[in-house]
Homo-oligomer: A and B are copies of this chain.
């Protein structure tokens, strides 16, 4: 019978690596701040873009809209973000971090950067080509068009 070498099969490898990296990374922000993954993503997106609608956050980070909705509410209850109705379109709400939210974001970012740097350093000189190939792969699978699947 023809067999598939699972540990060399790209979708499988990507999943295992992504899960492992996410898990490791969670130990960077999880213990101290008690954030779920979707919450971290919303926080990180708002930290980067300052003001954004829930819809836009979902599109950008490939999260389902209900997931965003729930993460937003959780962060709002913690007073880490604030919403105000958009002037142009009263259906949508513009989200921004509060001072407290920014403070937390500011605490996590350096840890995230350090975490990534360690990882990339360990990869050695292959890192350049690797990241470039990753970029191509992103284009190939055309991520922007979707929403829903995810992990951390």
Residues on A facing B (Cβ under 8 Å) = 1-7, 9-25, 41, 44-45, 47-48, 60-62, 102, 105-106, 109-110, 112-113, 115-116, 119-120, 122-124, 126-127, 129-130, 132-134, 136-138, 140-143, 146, 148-152
Known: A4-B112, A9-B116, A149-B22. A17 touches B138 (CB 8 A): yes
Q: Find A10's partner among B5, B9, B116, B129 (CB 8 Å cutoff).
A: B116
Give this chain's copy count: 2
Say whether B109 contacts A2, CB under 8 Å: yes
- Given contact pairs A24-B141, A149-B151, enumerate 7 new A-B contacts (beta carbons under 8 Å): A3-B47, A10-B116, A11-B115, A16-B62, A17-B18, A19-B151, A123-B137
